[in-house]
Amino acid sequence: MGLPIITNTGAAGTTFKGTVNPEGLATTYYAEYGTTTDYGTSTRTLKLFDENGEPFIGTDPIGVACVAPWIEPGATVHYRIVATNSGGTTHGADQTFTAPPALYWKSVSGDNAWENVLNWFTDAAATTQATSVP
């Protein structure tokens, strides 16, 4: 038993994912994130629980996810998972991802009412159409 072991597995939108091995001890975790490796912002701290809602104190890695309430659209973000138990605190390796751009929409009318469509754009001036939308 000892320090938690962390593996970062990626980011999707504003959710940071990884695994934490609590090494047999009750463990909490959160993500640090920011535009540099100084991070500067943290998600809320969560406890590891098993599928029955009991504290997970096993010795196998368990998947974790931390949600950031806001990421600047288009920003390159550094993040890492941090886990703490009575053995100490472990910081996961630095990872980066680029947040998707902001999406703006406008209605483009055709000659007939049934031709009205909604188009998504990656700029507020609505000149660059998005290739995919959420």
Beta strand pairing status for 28-34 and 76-85?
A: antiparallel
pTM over 0.75: no
The residue whose two tokens read 């159409």 is 129
The residue whose two tokens read 């751009």 is 101
Sequence-distant (6+) residues with CB within 8 A of 65 are 15, 16, 17
* 111-128 pLDDT tens trace: 544 444 445 555 555 555
* 2-52 pLDDT tens trace: 555 655 556 655 788 889 999 999 999 999 999 999 999 999 999 998 788
Residue in 30, 73, 67, 71 with CA at minimum distance from that of residue 48: 30
90-106 burial: b if 16+ Cβ within 10 Å, else e:
bebeebebebbeeeeee
Looking at per-residue pLDDT, the higher value among 62 and 69 belongs to 62
Q: Where are the domains of the chain?
A: 5-98, 102-134
Which CATH class for the 5-98 domain?
Answer: mainly beta
Q: Retrieve residue 59's tokens.
A: 């010795």
